Amino acid sequence: MAPTVKRIGVLTAGGDCPGLNAVIRAVVKDACFNGLEVLGIEDGFLGLIEDRLRPLSQDHVSNILTQGGTILGSSNKANPLRFATGTNADGTPRIEDVSARVIATIQKHGLDCIVVIGGDGSMSIAHELTEKARSGGVELRFVGVPKTIDNDLMGTEITFGHATAVATATDALDKLHSTAASHHRVMVVEVMGRNAGWIALSAGLASGSDAILIPEIPFHLETVCDMVISRGRRGKRFSIICVAEGAAPVGEQQKIAKIDPTSPDPVRLGGIAEWLASAVEQETRIESRYVVLGHVQRGGTPVAQDRVLATSLGFRAMELLRDSRFGRMVAVQGGQLTDVAIDQVAGRQRKVPLDHPMLAAARAVYTTFGE
């Protein structure tokens, strides 16, 4: 262990995700066994802005492995470099750079390194804070752990939380088969994923969905309707469509549910399932319904795969810290634990490659992507 590292912080930023507590547990237990003090930072980077930190011991992380969510809390609106501090005279949010508060909090508590558990936005913040502090002669140290149900982080082939979200979505799609068959309906199920189709692709393939619509492949409404009609002619009087929230018809924009100007990621996608169910019913004259799974995909007990992955990533983060390899994010490549520079991950999204084997497997069992 580098002699300068005596006290570390740990935070969970961005959206919640199954497996966050498993990482916290791994980090805290490893640190305690190696004589390090650990401070838990509440509500992500907001805890650094507002100076809300608390000691974490082995007792604090006992029995949290199976819990969903995060015992530290989280926030997806707390980018210190672009933070909403109030309202301007014209009613718009007042956005300010409060990174000086963060730096002061880190120095006040004597944090030698912070383990940031988050997605691309969180890694961007860690990188920008490092650069901002360095320009003022202050050295901040971060180690990243990749978190997102969307599985869209660059540099790693898998993120914890994804497997649980896929299992939740698959279970919902499985259950909808029976009601769709009973009422001879088209069921359109909207899943999360932002601009990447990993959840839709995996859950759609696992559930045997008849159509999987993802952001990477703009779809033709006519192709989707032809699939529904063709199934009816073969005696299959129902169809299941799994659609990612970021999917869009050819030549059209993504459906946006709302814009939140106070958030670092202001666009909230949503509405494609409702639009698609209405359009399919109008074109095919077959009764159609839609279901938006929403935040249920983020919750619940992490599946075994995510618990193992989260624990392994937490351990690897502590290895990086022990080796004084700061500014790195833990990653999985070729099925092996490794690490990449945080600045290679910041602000980037990993989408489904158009030559991915899962796409070929889905087409082989006559699943349409609406092409």
| Residues catalogued as catalytic | 150
Give the pairing type, strands 53-55 and 211-213: unpaired
What secondary structure, in 3-state letters, does 41-87 show? ECCCHHHHHCCCEEECCCHHHCCCCCCCCCCCCCCCCCCCCCEEEEE
By the 8 A CB rule, do 172 and 202 touch?
no
Q: 83, 136, 84, 86: which is closest to 106 by C-alpha?
A: 136
Partners of residue 95 on adjacent β-strands:
84
By the 8 A CB rule, do 158 and 151 touch?
yes
